[in-house]
């Protein structure tokens, strides 16, 4: 593990509203940890499943895809056909990008999320939002918190998968 301070201990992310700081910190931490955990991970094991569980490649693609979809809902937009296609292929390693490309895509999506956070007035964070075709109710802050929490959860799963796959 790195001796670098975790993001939540490193001060606020510039221009991100105070109530979104924890979400910003978690997303930044996710990217940092993914890079660290995959620094020496063999490319040929990217889509290998451990004990029938999701592959490292899936976790990388899924984190990017979920963040993209939740940002879409946060902006009160509907998912596009391209997003549905991405969702359908999250676990497909055939012709998939390299780990470096997947990490770069995740980092780009996190940067997009942070740029969006900076545009959000704090007094709108409890505004109602809806998720999915069923239009399940939530709030703007609920969506953004879930996006960050979900990323951290998959980073943990990715770490375990990396350890198991390398040890098999």
Query: What is the β-pairing status of strands 128-131 and 136-139?
Result: antiparallel
Question: Domain spans of the chain?
Answer: 53-167
The pTM assigned to this predicted structure is: 0.94
Tokens of 19: 């109530």
Nearest Cα residue to 33 out of 165, 156, 163: 156
Residue ranges in the chain whose pLDDT is less than 70: 1-3, 168
Q: What is the pLDDT of residue 96?
A: 85
Q: Which two tokens stand for residue 86?
A: 């991405």
What mean pLDDT, rounded, does the chain reach? 95
The answer to whether domain 53-167 has CATH 1.20.120.450 is: yes
35 burial type by CB count under 10 A (0-12 exposed, 13-18 middle, 19+ buried): middle
Predicted local distance difference test score (pLDDT) of residue 166: 87
- Give pLDDT tens digits for 74-120: 999 999 999 999 999 888 888 889 999 999 999 999 999 999 999 99
**What pLDDT is recorded for position 1?**
52
């Amino acid at each position: 593990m790195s001796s670098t301070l975790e993001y939540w201990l490193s001060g606020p992310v510039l221009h991100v509203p105070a109530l979104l700081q924890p979400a910003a910190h978690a997303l930044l931490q996710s990217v940092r940890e993914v890079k660290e955990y995959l620094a020496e991970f063999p490319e040929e094991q990217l889509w290998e499943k451990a004990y029938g569980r999701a592959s490292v490649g899936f976790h990388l693609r899924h984190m990017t895809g979920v963040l993209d979809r939740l940002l879409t809902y946060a902006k009160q937009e509907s998912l596009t056909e391209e997003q549905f296609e991405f969702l359908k292929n999250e676990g497909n390693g055939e012709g998939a990008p390299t780990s470096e490309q997947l990490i770069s895509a995740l980092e780009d999506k996190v940067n997009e999320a942070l740029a969006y956070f900076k545009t959000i007035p704090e007094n709108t964070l409890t505004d109602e939002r809806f998720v999915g075709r069923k239009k399940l109710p939530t709030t703007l802050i609920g969506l953004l918190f879930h996006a960050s929490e979900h990323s951290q959860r998959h980073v943990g799963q990715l770490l375990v998968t990396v350890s198991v796959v390398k040890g098999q």
